[in-house]
């Protein structure tokens, strides 16, 4: 844009003013080249062959402290939307998460084939 304008016009601060104009221009922002890679094609989640084969995991956080816990681990069976709610803390580690998962989900339903989660930027884990 600076090159196009300065072909015919020039004034003190031309670059700064053009930059401000482009940042505030809706059409300029829409036509801007993307620097990040495009996301791949979406793929549908697998259809489970057995119960609790594919699950969703997330946390409910920032709760008032009760008996030393301030968060809830939510494990949901995607197909029937059946859930387990496990009291935990916000500062739980991955190793610390394994024990409540084992005691409340795995011992009842077995190891899942896939887990979908948005915890701290994690994505899909599969066997």
The dihedral region occupied by 50, where left means phi > 0, alpha psi between -120 and 50, and beta the remainder, is beta
Delimit the domains of the chain by residue range: 2-31, 54-126
DSSP secondary structure, 24-39, as one string: H-HHHHHHSPP-SPPP
Residue 113 three-state SS: coil
What pLDDT does residue 127 have?
Answer: 42
Domain 54-126: CATH superfamily, name plus number: Ribonuclease H-like superfamily/Ribonuclease H (3.30.420.10)
Strand order in the sheet with 82-88: 82-88, 71-77, 54-60, 114-117, 124-126
Checking if the pLDDT of 75 tops 60, the result is yes
Task: Indicate the average pLDDT of the chain.
Answer: 84
Q: What percent of the chain has pLDDT over 90?
A: 27
**Can you tell me the mean pLDDT for 36-43?**
79
Facing residues of 84 across strands? 75
Look up the pTM and report it. Answer: 0.60
């Amino acid at each position: 844009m600076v090159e196009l304008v300065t072909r015919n016009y020039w004034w003190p601060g031309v670059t700064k003013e053009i930059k401000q104009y482009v940042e505030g221009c809706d059409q300029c922002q829409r036509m801007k080249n993307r620097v990040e890679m495009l996301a791949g094609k979406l793929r549908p989640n697998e259809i489970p062959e057995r119960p609790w084969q594919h699950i969703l995991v997330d946390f409910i956080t920032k709760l008032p402290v009760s008996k030393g816990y301030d968060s809830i681990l939510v494990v949901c069976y995607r197909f029937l939307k059946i859930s387990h709610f496990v009291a935990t803390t916000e500062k739980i580690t991955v190793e610390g998460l394994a024990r409540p998962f084992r005691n409340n989900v795995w011992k009842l339903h077995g190891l899942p084939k896939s887990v979908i989660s948005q915890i701290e930027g994690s994505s899909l884990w599969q066997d």
